[in-house]
Amino acid sequence: MVYTGQNIASAFEETFIVNSISILEVGPRDGLQSEPEILPTEIKKEFILKIINAGIKQIEVTSFVHPKKVPQMADAETLVESLPDRDDVTYIGLIMNQRGFERARDCGIDEVGMVIVSTDTYNKKNQGVTTQESIDNWLRIAADAKSAGIRTNVVISCSFGCPYEGEVDPEKIVAIAEQVLQGEPDILGLADSVGVAVPKQITNVFSMIKELHPTIPLRTHLHNTRNIGLANAAAAVEVGVSIIDASTGGIGGCPFAPKATGNIPTDDLLYMLDRSDVITGVNLRDVIKTTEWLESQLGRSVPAMLPKAGIFPENAEINLQ
């Protein structure tokens, strides 16, 4: 759908009221990995516990990558092992290869998230291998994850454009998804890793993926580099995406992508969803308090607008149904 002044209100009313959305918090991983500070493990743990207390049940807590490449994630095993066992919370660890999977498995992670970049140039910068090699790695990991009883999700990065190779043909994303689905992931995601997408692209590419596999839960990971992240999230809801990544305070980015600014803020996303009667089960006021706490830990302001502007109206009831 093309958004116009005449149809945007009706689209939100028709689509948002009948949907519930699961927020997948990526602040502890994608948020902190691009910040200059390296927070102590205990502070990261406190961050995660505050997220849980706000009502978020899916959390990407760390990544199992080489500590020299991403020193902010060097304590991955220690952090995961320190987290409380919760039947109602899923701790997710990002992986890029077999070694990363083995590290995640051995420290007791609930779910692994495999990233496959759609272009060879970016995939080589990010992972040191071609896109096809990452797909082949995933298919081997998929079997090991099933044997270990670990849930899996796969995210196709740069699904809407690449900073090195430019436009990405949607048919290429579908072709990658066809191969990825052979490993039977529990969730399939598309990422706008550098914030180039617009709502029309979100609707188009996700519609093609839904035709490929109508029943698999769909996830999207959006960046706000060009200030269109929330519009893209609205388009994702409209097309039936059920899991939306967000970062408390809007911190983060990608250290391997030039000019890639932060993720969409959990705070601002929740405001949009709450005001549109979308059920998330997350308490916006608690998320804002966590953002304010995070600012005190980082020693500076973060991108999210809600902590600055406030909830409207001030006495608004938070949608927790």
- Residues identified as active-site: 254
Residue pointed to by tokens 């269109």:
228
β-pairing, 58-63 vs 22-25, is parallel
Q: What is the DSSP letter of 21?
A: -
Question: What distance in Å separates the CA atoms of residue 212 and residue 206, rounded to the nearest whole number?
Answer: 10
Radius of gyration of the chain (CA): 18
3-state secondary structure of 184: coil
Do residues 156 and 193 touch, judged by C-beta distance below 8 A? no
- Running DSSP on this structure, what letter comes out for residue 186? S
Beta bridge partners, 23, equal 244
- Element holding 190 (H helix, E strand): strand 187-192
First-to-final CA distance of the chain? 28
Phi-psi category of residue 116: left, alpha or beta, with phi > 0 → left and psi -120 to 50 → alpha: beta
Give Cα separations from 82 to 42, 72, 273 (angstroms): 9, 17, 32
Separation of alpha carbons 52 and 231, rounded Å: 26
CA distance 268 to 54: 15
Task: Judge whether 239 and 210 are in contact, CB under 8 Å.
Answer: yes
Q: How many helices (H) and strands (E) does the chain have?
A: 12, 8
> What's the rounded Cα separation, in Å, for the pair 228 and 39?
29
